Amino acid sequence: GAGVSQTPSNKVTEKGKYVELRCDPISGHTALYWYRQSLGQGPEFLIYFQGTGAADDSGLPNDRFFAVRPEGSVSTLKIQRTERGDSAVYLCASSFFAGEMNEQYFGPGTRLTVT
Amino acid sequence: KQEVTQIPAALSVPEGENLVLNCSFTDSAIYNLQWFRQDPGKGLTSLLLIQSSQREQTSGRLNASLDKSSGRSTLYIAASQPGDSATYLCAVHPYSGAGSYQLTFGKGTKLSVIP
């Protein structure tokens, strides 16, 4: 069906608050990825799911960041005790499967601003 | 650690010119390389994906080449148009064993095509 969707498109929150960012992958895609893009930089990998499990979370910056994908489709990135340095665009991508032919399709991103 | 560099950081050309964007990467052990386009405030649109066994891919006015042994890729845009104005990102999918499928991105080249 449609492409990868992300909600909200913009989120402004105060320092110390909790936020949740949502990603709806392309229907039928089993692999899902989260990236973070700071101003003037390329996206940086955060975490990757194959099905319901986090296959690689090596990019999560610290334990304030957590992501889930309970039913193997929609994923939520959760950030606790937000800091101003968390301000960035959070991008989600999905692919049909994870492997050599895994072209990743990206969503429009969620712009997070921590004041 | 894989590093991806894109030169130049910004490029301005008159409409109709042919142009080349460069991407280099430090570790030649890659699955594939992707070129993306990013419009201001938007997500990433995949332009071309080159598998490690391929030398080039073409789509319309775009041609991407890959020289894996030297760690280089180029994106050639023919007959540039103002609508081509965007940031172009190069990303490699490093081969890092089972369970890791993260893309490593460059910082991008910001292209402006002047009417």
Q: Are A26 and A3 in contact (CB under 8 A)?
A: yes
Judged by a CB distance cut-off of 8 A, whether residue B71 touches chain A is: no
- Checking if the pLDDT of A101 tops 70, the result is no
Mutate: best of B103, B105, B107, partner A, most A CBs <10 A = B103
Dig out the tokens for A104 from the structure: 């990743």
Q: What part of A 25-84 touches B (C-beta under 8 Å)?
A: 31, 33, 35, 40-45, 48, 55-56, 58-59
- Which tops the pLDDT comparison, B8 or B95? B8
- Checking if the pLDDT of B61 tops 60, the result is yes
Q: Are A108 and A42 in contact (CB under 8 A)?
A: no
Rounded to whole angstroms, how far apart are CA atoms B40 and A112? 16
Q: Are B74 and B33 in contact (CB under 8 A)?
A: no
Contact A105 B46 (CB under 8 A): yes
CA-closest candidate to residue B88, choices B74, B78, B102: B74
Quick one: what percent of chain A has pLDDT higher than 90? 79
Mean pLDDT rounded to a whole number for chain A: 93
Judged by a CB distance cut-off of 8 A, whether residue B115 touches chain A is: no
Rounded to whole angstroms, how far apart are CA atoms A93 and B105? 14
pLDDT score at B41: 82
- Checking if the pLDDT of B99 tops 50, the result is no
DSSP summary character for residue B69: T
Dig out the tokens for B47 from the structure: 């332009």
The pLDDT confidence band at residue A109, using thresholds 50, 70 and 90, is very high
Mean pLDDT of B63-89: 97
Contact A106 B91 (CB under 8 A): no
What ranges make up the beta strands (E) of B39-94?
Answer: 44-51, 56-59, 62-67, 72-77, 86-94
The helix/strand count (H/E) of chain A reads as: 0, 11
* Phi, psi at B54, each rounded to 5°: -100, 160
- Checking if the pLDDT of A58 tops 80, the result is yes
- For A9-52, the pLDDT digits (tens) are 999 999 999 999 999 999 999 999 999 999 989 999 999 998 89
Torsion of CA A75, A6, A99, B73, to 10 degrees: -150
Quick one: what percent of chain B has pLDDT higher than 90? 77
- Contacts across the A-B interface (CB distance below 8 Å): 71
The pLDDT confidence band at residue A70, using thresholds 50, 70 and 90, is very high
CA-closest candidate to residue A5, choices A89, A77, A96, A110: A110
